[in-house]
Amino acid sequence: MSGISNNSMQFVLDNKITTVDFKNQNLKPTTTVLNYLRSLPDHKGVKEGCAEGDCGACTVVIAEPDENNDLKYKAVNSCLIFLPMIHGKQLITVENLATRNGYEVNLHPVQQALVEANGSQCGYCTPGIVMSLFALYKNYKNPSKDIIEDALAGNLCRCTGYQPILNAGLTLSSLGNDHFAKKKNETVELLKKIQHNNHSLAIETEKQKYFQPLSTEEVFELKNNYPEAVIINGSTDIALKQTKKFEFPENIIDLSRISELKTFRENNNEFIIGSGLSLEEIKSGLKKKLPAFDQMFNVFASKQIRNLATIGGNIGTASPISDTIPLLFAYKAKVKLLKSKSERELLIEDFITGYRQTQLLPDEIIHSVIIPKPEKDTIIKFYKVSKRKDLDISTLSGGFRLTLQNQFVKEILLAFGGMAEITKRATKTEKFLLNKSWSRENIKKAGEILKNEFKPISDARSGKKFRKIAAGNLLLKFYSKIKTE
C-alpha cells in the first residue's frame, strides 16, 4: 500500500481538527468512539448503557460533506464504532450543542424544545435522545410522527414518558437555523484539510494491526499479506464480539472508505447495491421501489444501527435470523464476489452454505448485491415475529414470493429465517402449492406440511413448537393479505 498514514488519524471535534496518535496515546485501533469520548475530560455526556447498540444512551452524530459540500448528519451508536472509522469526519456530542457567552449558556433549539415539552427525565438516556433529535432536526424540515418515532426507536428510556419526547420532536419544524448551519463552510474547510491528504490508514500497535484502504486493489494486497484478517465495514457485528465476548482481532481490514463499494445503481432489469452501502441508505434508495423492503426496514434494528450496518456485512455473517436474507431469497437476489483478477455471481441461496458459512473464498470480497426487478404480477412480502416491534432480533421471519395466474399458483417461494441453521426454503410446501388454486383450504393443508418441514431449535427467544405454529400462521397471513388487497 502506498501513501499510507502510520498510526494516526484525524477528525473534527469541538470545531477543530483532532489528531489521534495510536502509538503515543496508548490507544487500540479498536477503541470505540464511546470509550475514547469517556476518556476525555469534557465529553462525558455520552453514556454506556448496554454497549451493544440497544439502548441509544451513547448516541452521537457524525457529519461529513456530500458531493455538493453540504453536510450529512447521521446519528450512530458510539459503542459500535472503532475510532479509525471517523477519520475525515466531524464528531458531534451533546456538549457541542449549546453555545456559551461568558457565563451565559444558550441551549440548542433541540435542547430547548425538549425542556419546554418536559421531555428530560433522569438524565442518563437524555443525551442520546437529544442527539437523535438533533440528527432529525438537521435532516428533516417537517418530520411526520412516523419519521420521529423511527428516529427515536433506538433510544430506550427506563423512566418511560416517551410522549413528551415525541412532542418535542413534533416542534422541530418550527425551529430556526442553529450555529452548525452558520459554521457549515468553516467545518467543510476543516474536513477538506484532512481529506486533502487523503490516504489509506495503517495503524500498528503492539497487539493489533488495523488497515483502512481506499481501493479494492489495496484490499487484495492486504488479504494476500494478512489472509486471516477480519474484514469489517460497519463493524456492528465485530464490535459486539469485542465488547461482549472480549475478542480482539489481531489484524483488521476496514472497507468503510472504499467508494466503489458504496454505489447504488438501477437499470431496466435490476438494482445493483454496493456491499458497503449502509442499510439506511438502501432504505432511502429503495423506498417505494421494492415495497417489501419497506416492510423489512420498518422493523429492522434502529436508525443508529442502520446508519452503520451494511448489506454486505449482513449477508456475510450468514446469520440464520438475519432479516435481509429471507427477503433477498424472495427477490432471487444474487451476490457478486470479487477477487483481484476475476469475479463471479451466485444466487443468495447458493451463497450461504451452513451456519454462518458462505461460499466466500479467502481471496474474495463481497462486491455487491444484485436484485432483479420482479414482474408486475409478482407479489413479494416480508414478515417478522419478534418479542417487540422495534429494535429486536427475529424469532423467525419470512420472505415470500407468489405469482398467480387465474387464481392458480404459477410460482411460489417461501423462505424462512429462524427455522433452521440457515435461512431455508420450504420446498415441500412450495411443491404442494404449485399449480394449485390459491384457496384457504389449500393453504391450511400447506400449513400442515410446513409444520413438519423444519426442525427448529428451542432457545431464549422461543420454543420449537411455537416456531412451527408461527411459521404456519405467517403463511396464512400471507394468504389473507393477498386476498384482501
CATH of the domain at 40: 3.10.20.30
The pLDDT assigned to 195 comes to 84
> In which element (H, E) is residue 379 found?
strand 378-385
Work out the burial of residue 272: count CB atoms within 10 Å of its CB; fewer than 13 is exposed, 13-18 middle, 19 or more buried.
middle
Q: What is the mean pLDDT of residues 72-101?
A: 97
C-alpha grid cell for residue 325? Answer: 436474507
The pLDDT assigned to 320 comes to 94
Q: Is 103 part of any domain?
A: no
| 270 and 239 co-located in one domain | no
Q: Is 396 part of any domain?
A: yes
| 247 and 266 co-located in one domain | no
* pLDDT score of 160 more than 80: no
| 91 and 201 co-located in one domain | yes
Q: Is 102 part of any domain?
A: no
Range with the poorest average pLDDT among 244-253, 343-352, 354-363: 244-253
The pLDDT assigned to 371 comes to 98
Q: Of the candidates 254, 286, 307, which is a domain's last residue?
A: 254
Q: What is the span of the domain harbouring residue 327?
A: 260-484
> 214-248, pLDDT tens digit by residue?
999 999 999 999 999 999 999 998 998 898 888 89
| 42 and 124 co-located in one domain | no
> 285-306, pLDDT tens digit by residue?
998 899 999 999 999 999 999 9
* pLDDT score of 198 more than 90: no
CA distance 99 to 111: 11
DSSP 437: B
CATH of the domain at 320: 3.30.465.10
Q: Of the candidates 177, 208, 223, which is a domain's last residue?
A: 177
| 91 and 207 co-located in one domain | yes
| 338 and 446 co-located in one domain | yes
Q: Is 148 part of any domain?
A: yes
| 330 and 389 co-located in one domain | yes
| 151 and 280 co-located in one domain | no
| 290 and 421 co-located in one domain | yes
Q: Is 159 part of any domain?
A: yes
| 163 and 212 co-located in one domain | no
pLDDT > 90 in the chain, percent: 86
Q: Is 101 part of any domain?
A: no
C-alpha grid cell for residue 228? Answer: 486471516
The pLDDT assigned to 5 comes to 58
Q: What is the mean pLDDT of residues 92-103?
A: 94
| 171 and 186 co-located in one domain | no
Range with the poorest average pLDDT among 5-9, 113-117, 174-178, 379-383: 5-9
User: Angle at the Cα of 405 (from 331 to 478), degrees rounded to 5?
Assistant: 50
Q: Of the candidates 135, 158, 177, which is a domain's last residue?
A: 177
pLDDT > 70 in the chain, percent: 99
What is the number of domains present in the chain? Answer: 3
Q: What is the mean pLDDT of residues 395-404?
A: 97
Taking a C-beta distance cutoff of 8 angstroms, is the pair 320, 355 a contact? yes
* pLDDT score of 2 more than 70: no
CA distance 293 to 472: 22
Q: Which residues contact 415 (CB under 8 A, 6 or more apart)?
A: 325, 326, 327, 329, 330, 349, 398, 399, 400, 423, 424, 425, 426
| 164 and 188 co-located in one domain | no
Q: Is 208 part of any domain?
A: yes
> 410-435, pLDDT tens digit by residue?
999 999 999 999 999 999 999 999 99
